[in-house]
Amino acid sequence: MNARLTPWLFLMPAILIYGIFGAYPIFQTFAISLTNQVGVAEPGTFIGLQNYVTLIEDEYFLNSLKNTGIWVIAFLIVPNSLAITIALLVKQTFWGAGLIKTVFFLPLALSFAIVGVVWGWIYEPDVGLLDQLLIGLGLDGLIVEWLGPEAATYSVIAAAAWRQTAFATVVFLAGLSAIPQELIEAAKVDGGTRRQIFFRITLPLLKPASTIAVSSALIHALLATEIVLTMTEGGPFGTSEVVGYRMYMETFWNYKFGYGAAIGVIVTLMTATMVVPYVRRMAKAQERDWS
């Protein structure tokens, strides 16, 4: 057997599975986005790029795009910053560390839909846990309508960040465990401060973990549909909609399959544009470090 063909024979099952369940749906979605298809009964008529032109003028879509930008920025900063801090703390051995790990990792066992239901109860006006806590602390003045027009987007992001932080914490803990302790001890012997050790040794060696955590945050920020659906249904008055939810509404609520597919293509392009260059850049950085 030709030695060049052997690797491809082993890769063929994975390539076929990806082609059937990954690549083909993407091309099919793009094809549908070029039509005015309504529902699944009959294929739509070819209309070219009209759906994409309509998107540019669609206030609901533009609003969801703005909210998605807020999601991306918040999800890149908040969960990852908290996660690396928590990972550094719980990695230490002290009394109660196991309980703390359990508390922080618990959200990882919940789906975003369940997280949305739980935090919906927490945000309930007057009787919700958050309002009761603020009242008990004498901070009544901080109470707002958490799922109202002004705060809904940020409240939903905070709920989603709770779960994302748990995931990123696990990733960073795994990354910290892979760092040779000899390097840390050697740096301490050489007089390195905690700050110097973190920024010059720990953080650079966490690049593989950071790649996973940041990529996951980007993908979940761009496809935040379940938690928006369960907590606000895009409301009030569309103020908390994101592009994933707008795609869901246009496709399965308004039955505009062609229009919804166009949004799906935009989401795919946004994900590829943000995630792929970042992963490639981090991979090249790791290669340079290892060489």
For residues 71 and 246, give the distance between their C-alpha atoms in angstroms, rounded to a whole number. 15
Q: Give 256's strand partners.
A: 38
Could you tell me the pLDDT band of residue 288, with boundaries at 50, 70 and 90? low
d(CA 150, CA 141): 16
Is the per-residue pLDDT at 291 higher than 60?
no
Q: What is the mean pLDDT of the chain?
A: 84
d(CA 232, CA 273): 28
Q: Above pLDDT 90, what percent of the chain?
A: 8
And the tokens for 263? 């949004």
pLDDT at residue 24 in the model: 85
DSSP bridge partners of 38: 256
**The predicted structure's pLDDT at residue 95:** 64
CB 222 within 8 A of CB 282: no
How far apart CA 224 and CA 218 sit, in angstroms, is 10
